[in-house]
């Protein structure tokens, strides 16, 4: 089992993690918006069926909760990287750097 034994080894991984997070934070909100759109279609297609309408509302709520988790994790990651001294200039959501 290879363990990171040196802090410099760990810090060398942080830019890679930052790069991967760029893609995750670009893709995840788009996926949540897709789920919101699909839940609207499901709600329209329910046509008065309470069970289908509830399923659509649940899908909508899960997408909103997902968005809250995505944005919350974005803030946490930015703070952790700032504490570790890693540049977070590249970590953006949908190509927009929300925090200075």
65-93, pLDDT tens digit by residue? Answer: 999 998 888 888 888 878 877 766 555 55
Q: Does 67 fall in a domain?
A: yes
Supply the range of the domain harboring residue 21: 15-84
Q: What is the pLDDT of residue 21?
A: 80
Q: Does 9 fall in a domain?
A: no
Q: Does 98 fall in a domain?
A: no
Q: Does 95 fall in a domain?
A: no
Q: What is the pLDDT of residue 92?
A: 57
- What is the rounded distance in angstroms from the CA atom of residue 19 to the CA atom of residue 13? 10
Q: What is the pLDDT of residue 96?
A: 56
Q: What is the pLDDT of residue 25?
A: 81
How many domains would you assign to the chain? 1
Q: What is the pLDDT of residue 78?
A: 81
Q: What is the pLDDT of residue 8?
A: 60
Residue 96 pairs with which residues in a beta bridge?
Answer: 93
Q: Does 39 fall in a domain?
A: yes
- Give the residues of the chain that fall short of pLDDT 50: 100
Query: Residues with Cβ < 8 Å from 25, sequence gap 6 or more?
Result: 70, 74, 91, 92, 93, 94
Q: Does 32 fall in a domain?
A: yes
Q: Does 93 fall in a domain?
A: no
């Amino acid at each position: 089992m290879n363990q990171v034994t040196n802090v410099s080894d760990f810090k060398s991984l942080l830019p890679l993690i930052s790069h991967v997070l760029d893609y995750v934070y670009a893709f995840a909100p788009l996926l949540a918006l897709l789920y919101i759109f699909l839940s609207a279609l499901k709600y329209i297609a329910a046509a008065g069926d309470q069970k289908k309408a509830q399923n659509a509302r649940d899908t909508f709520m899960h997408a909103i909760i997902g968005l809250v988790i995505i944005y919350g994790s974005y803030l946490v990651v930015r703070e952790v990287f700032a504490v570790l001294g890693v540049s977070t200039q590249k970590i953006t959501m949908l190509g927009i750097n929300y925090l200075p």
